[in-house]
Structure 1
Amino acid sequence: MSTMIPDTGNTPQKDNSTATAARPNKGGLEGIVAATTAISKVDGTAGRLIYRGYDIHDLARTCTYEEVAHLLWFGHLPTQKELSDLHTKFVAERNLPDLVVQTIRELPKTAEPMDVLRTAVSAWGAISVSGKPTIEQAIAATARFPLILATFHRLRQGKEPLESRSELGHAANYLYLLTGELPKEEHVRGLNTYLVLLADHGMNASTFTARIVASTESDIASALVAALGALKGPLHGGAPSKVQDMLHEIGSVEKAEAWIREAITHGGRLMGFGHRVYKTTDPRAEELREMARVADPEDFKLSSYVETKALALLDEMKPGRKLYTNVEYYSAALMKAVGLSGDLFTPTFAVSRCAGWTAHILEQVNNNRLIRPEAEYTGPQNESFVPLAERK
């Protein structure tokens, strides 16, 4: 996400003619309440993110991704037995049907991992998913997202996919499947924190898309494929690798100020700054900043300096804009530190967000009404019809 980027937001189906006249349409559904949810709350003014009542800082510092997935799906943090049961269910779903693996094999090695993930989820849905979305399907999808990405990553390197290890948690197993090596504890901790922080984020564009599809009584795989399509866009989730590209272009602390001034002066984008919702510091960025510092102290020096200098220059050159570092800025540094290539950054966002998407899909179908908003027509009216032969 950059300084020029929006983020967004079931729609009560009422006669909104009076409300529309009273409230100007800013576009992008900004300021429009499109659903009620008990899953998460984003308080952009205070800079808070809450999952079912729990502050994101507490969850990120103490919980595994599996605990947070349980919280999002079932509404409460798990007991030890509930967590063990969920782990057992995850392990049972850590496999890909032969047809899905074959589909991945037949895709070009140069394909974007997000495209591979979208295609493989669609293939999995075609042979494995039917009927109303269920919690069992949510667990199955969330367990398989990392397998799809790791399978493609291994194949494009000329290697064969690996079998999951049942003793490993969600984050550790993903790293193992990518590399074939047991990951370092600090890398597991860093990736787990990332997965917790991005597991849900209110009515963002991809979550809204998933809920729209679910509201039509379509299946869970279709809703997830639609969400992936929305997440791929650079105005939503497709920007983390671009932060890394920006830092690489800046190159050093000595060149940072001149590069940033040039970018701001000529309308260039500072990737990883600004957010559609947060009017203060993104709480997820606060947690990721520390994780990035620990994961790679040397790379962190440049990231930290560019952040400090960019915020100062934005305040100087764009006064009143209140632009802050967003989640994608330090996501890039952290994911690079744990060994992920740039084109896996956004797909790994999807690995995390799958728990949130499926929680929202289940919430939608359990109290469903077709999402069907209105559009304010701005075209011509009362045109006189002219028969084809008389048109000039």
Structure 2
Amino acid sequence: MTEWLTREQALERLNIRPQTLYAYVSRGRIGMKPDDADPRRSQYRADDIAALATRRDRGRSPQAIAESAIAWGEPAIATSISTVLHGRLIYRGKDAVKLSATATLEETAELLWASDRPVSFASLTPSAARQSGTPTAFARLSALAAEGWSSLGRRPAMLQQDGAAATSALATALGATPGSEPVHARLAQGWSVEAPGADLIRKALVLLADHELNASTFAARVAASTGAPIAACLLAGLATLTGPRHGGAGAAAIALVEDAERLGADEAIARWLAHDRPLPGFGHPLYPEGDPRAESVFSGLEIDDGLSRLRKAVLAATGLHPNIDFALAAITRSLRLPADAPFRLFALGRSVGWTAHAIEQVTSNRLIRPRARYDGPISMG
């Protein structure tokens, strides 16, 4: 068997439509690369196709299919908000990387929310809290959630207002100064960042706004399916984002960089891998050829020597490319932002996506309630 197959060969061996082949590629289940003879065409990894064909031939029970959908499996929820296709992040039909060249987070919210009016995250009331950060963000959203209206039976425009209010509160809690300017400018003011850095923050927020059905977005949709207030849906997303396998990856990437500077890149990589720890900030199942969000950030950022050496060493040792978490670590170091800036940027940007998905879930009028496959003991007494 050859290492790479043509599109026609892949379709024939799997007996699938082109759309299904592209879906497998976008989810990282089939590797793809440009054809050396004709870069306009693509080739597909034969081993991945053979493994998929074997699983299909064996057949799978409904229970096994349902279980596999939970972790990078088949699509489980229909959405028109975003997707990853052919290694590109798409926001309602628009390339997110291209959008991030000029758009603000507010303009991105208008797109993702399908709003018929401009979105504002203005906050004209001075913050009563002396400190900003994750604890303050949780406190603000908790207060809004406790006082919020149920999302059921309300028009999307009203839910959008709730989402804008929650995101505005989240922005000031995470360090943005009060004002009516775009939220990236106010965040830059709060962090004493000059105009070029503010534009980099703007781009990062847009690129982080949504990412299909990730863990925090799924949590927000589950909350929305019960009719919870929009602020409560964002709170569910924020809680999920705190995990080290999600929003905490940016801090872990900074730790890896610091280890590399102290021990040397090769030694740091070897130690992380020896302890069975994946390298934070590198690789992504949906972007086998590299995360375009990270590359977009790098285009406007001068990476320091420590980051550059680590990036090259990881590629040489593992073949993995940087992802958005590594890019957030690079922004944090370059602009001398607070140590938890990767999480703050992630939370603020993704609040727009959480709101979009919460509204979409509410308007679908469906409860998300999967069944569990019980494998514990059963008492017959």
Structure-2-length-normalised TM-score: 0.76
Q: Is residue 140–residue 169 contact of structure 2 (8 Å, CA) maintained in 1?
A: no
Aligned residues: 318
Alignment-derived partner of residue 201 in structure 1: 211
CA distance in 1, matches of 2:375, 2:289: 35
Taking structure 1 as reference, are residues 324 and 375 closer, same or farther at Cα in structure 2, changes over 3 Å only? farther
In structure 2, do the counterparts of structure 1 residues 185 and 230 end up closer, same or farther at CA, with 3 Å as the change threshold? same
Partner Cα distance (2:351, 2:217) in 1: 10
Q: CA deviation at 1:187?
A: 0.7
Conserved 8 A contact 2:291-2:321? yes
- 1:213–1:186: structure 2 CA closer, same or farther, 3 Å change rule? same
User: What residue in structure 1 maps to residue 337 of structure 2?
Assistant: 340
Structure 1 counterpart of 2:353 = 356
Query: Of residues 131, 136, 139 in structure 1, which corresponds to 2:150?
Result: 131
RMSD over equivalenced CA pairs, Å:
2.7
Q: After TM superposition, list the pairs within 5 Å mapping 1:123-202 onto structure 2.
A: 123-127=143-147, 129-132=148-151, 134-150=159-175, 164-166=178-180, 168-176=181-189, 178-179=190-191, 181=192, 183-202=193-212
Relative to structure 1, the CA distance from residue 313 to residue 363 in structure 2 (aligned partners, 3 Å threshold; closer, same or farther) is same
Correspondence for 2:380 among 374, 378, 384 = 384
AA at the equivalent of 1:231? L
Runs of 4+ deviating beyond 6 Å:
none
Shift of 1:376: 1.7
Cα 1:309–1:200 shift into 2, 3 Å: same
Report if aligned partners of 2:69, 2:76 keep a CA contact under 8 Å in 1.
Answer: no
Letter of the aligned partner of 2:182 in structure 1?
G
State the match for 1:159 in structure 2: none
> How far apart are the structure 2 equivalents of 1:189 and 1:287?
12
What amino acid maps onto 2:72 in structure 1?
E
Q: Could you tell me which residue of structure 1 aligns to residue 229 of structure 2?
A: 219
Whether the 8 Å contact between 1:48 and 1:55 is mirrored in structure 2 is yes
C-alpha deviation, 1:146, in angstroms: 1.5
**2:92 equivalent to 1:52:** yes
Does structure 2 retain, via aligned residues, the 8 Å contact 1:291–1:334? no
CA distance in 2, matches of 1:271, 1:131: 38
- Is residue 244 from structure 1 mapped to residue 254 from structure 2 by the alignment? yes
The residue identity in structure 2 corresponding to 1:274 is G
Flag structure 2 segments of 5+ consecutive residues without an equivalent: 1-26, 28-59, 152-157
Q: Aligned pair 1:369/2:366, yes or no?
A: yes
Q: Check if 1:38 corresponds to 2:86.
A: no
Identical columns (%): 34
TM-score (norm: length of structure 1)? 0.74
Deviation at 1:268, TM superposition (A): 3.8
**CA 1:66 to 1:174, structure 2 compared with 1: closer, same or farther past 3 Å?**
same
Gaps of 5+ in 1: 1-5, 7-17, 77-81, 152-161, 316-322, 386-392
- State the distance in 2 between where 1:377 and 1:190 align: 48
Task: Say yes or no: does 1:259 pair with 2:268.
Answer: yes
Partner Cα distance (2:167, 2:292) in 1? 24
Secondary structure in structure 1 of the residue aligned to 2:240 = helix
Map Cα deviations across residues 293-330 of structure 1 (whole Å, 9 max, x no partner). 2xxx5x2x221221121111114xxxxxxx43221011
RCO (CA 8 Å, sep 6+): is it higher in 1 or 2? Answer: 1
User: CA–CA distance in 2 between the matches of 1:20 and 1:243?
Assistant: 38
**1:338 to partner: Cα distance:** 2.7
1:141: how far off?
A: 1.5
The one-letter code sitting in structure 2 at the alignment partner of 1:95 is: T
Deviation at 1:353, TM superposition (A): 0.7
CA–CA distance in 1 between the matches of 2:364 and 2:63?
A: 29
The residue number in structure 2 matching 1:290 is 299
Are residue 122 (structure 1) and residue 125 (structure 2) matched?
no
SS at match of 1:251: helix
